[in-house]
Amino acid sequence: MSVFSKTYTTQITQSAGDGAGSSIEIIDLTFEYCGDITGDGFDDVQVSLALNPASNSEKEDMVGVAFDVNKLDNLEIVQILLNTSYGSVTTTPPVVVMGEDQVSDQGPLDPGFSTSGGNLGEDGEPYDVGIRFGELGSGDGIVQQASFVLTTAGADINAEQLLDDTSWWVRLQSTDGGEDSAKMYLPKLDLPPCSDDPSGCAEGLTPGYWKTHGPADLAAAPGGQANDWDNITGAPVYGAGGVSAFSYEQLIFGAEVEGLKWTLPGGKEPTQLGDLSVMEALSIGGGGANALARHSMAAILNSRDEDVSYFASEEQIRQWTGQVLLGNLVEIDGMQYNTESLAGLFSANNELGLDPCALV
């Protein structure tokens, strides 16, 4: 399961009627991806549609949505949720039809609403998925918000591979003060990648790797292992035995921080340390602040290595780590992280290896 969560919002706009004075309808289309939504341990995509308040006359009703996907195999549509407004009730359960290039009002699979016309340059284009939120006609509720989840049993969904360059269609009724309808069309969806890495991939090496592939004067580096620290850029982070002016705290905060302690097991009683060397940070066991020290130290080395495309910069790693070690929450891609969850974020990225980009 990915520990990332990415949110991307775009808008679909279209005239609410055919007349010159017709109002403009706006639908906010939001995608949440790069994370587990259903709780099965695999990445999903949640899609939400909402009538923008700027174009809401309290009468518009979203009848349904039709869209393309780049791969239909084993795709499931689950957790369809509707928000009806102004005291209305939708009595008809949502209906899903799925078939590659088969979903249209002129095709083998009729979604229950028109997917053609509207001077949109797409006359009766067949889609792969259609979801009808309610029956046509004002008697079946006024749906102005809806969401659903795209999932695949036993596998992650790569949102970009599934949805990039796909077309989307939303059917509105009772627009323009209740007198007309709108056929909303988005021709080419373009989702940003899960990470900020411009190549669209991310890599990382574990604390254990950095601990055992260091230079000869790094205390725990065993003989015979390649020294991969020769690709590290920036000011040195170690000296003999992993000790230097750049201790772990100084790397993160720029100075030692009073009262910040780590616990090292030893004998019958644990040893309390007020500061860690680079090697101690890479080697320290346990969870909480210990886990964050271990994985953030590896994260810094990953960000410095010219052969590793890490998901975050050294500046970001220092800022995030320093904040949570001082008891604060940090927000990354719309999610809040504390000590434990930030350690998990770094850990997941430190275990990616180098294969995704094949840089070495």
Residues 101 and 217 in one domain: no
Asked if residue 202 belongs to a domain, the reply is no
Q: Which residue has the higher pLDDT, 348 or 88?
A: 348
Q: What's the CA gap between 270 and 90, in Å, rounded?
A: 61
Residue 191 placed within a domain = no
pLDDT at 241 over 80: no
Per residue in 300-310, pLDDT tens? 999 888 788 88
The answer to whether position 199 is within a domain reads no
Helix residue ranges per DSSP H, the chain: 159-163, 207-212, 248-253, 278-283, 289-304, 314-325, 339-350
Q: What is the pLDDT of residue 153?
A: 92
Give the residue numbers spanning the domain of 108: 6-186
From CA 205, how far away is CA 349, in angstroms rounded?
8
Given 152, 186, 220, which residue is the final one in a domain? 186
Note the pLDDT of residue 285: 86
- Verify that 166 and 280 share a domain, yes or no: no
One-letter amino acid for residue 28 of the chain: D
90 and 137 together in one domain? yes
* Residue of 96, 89, 56, 58 lying closest to 75 (CA atoms): 96
In total, how many domains does the chain have?
2
Q: CA 7 to CA 233: how far, in whole Å?
A: 33
Domain end, chosen from 133, 157, 186, is at: 186
Does residue 312 register a pLDDT over 70?
yes
* Residues 176 and 226 occupy one common structural domain: no
Which of 49-58, 207-216, 230-239, 350-359 is predicted with the least confidence, judged by mean pLDDT?
A: 230-239
Render pLDDT for 138-170 as a digit per residue (tens, 0 to 9).
556 678 889 999 999 989 898 989 999 999 998
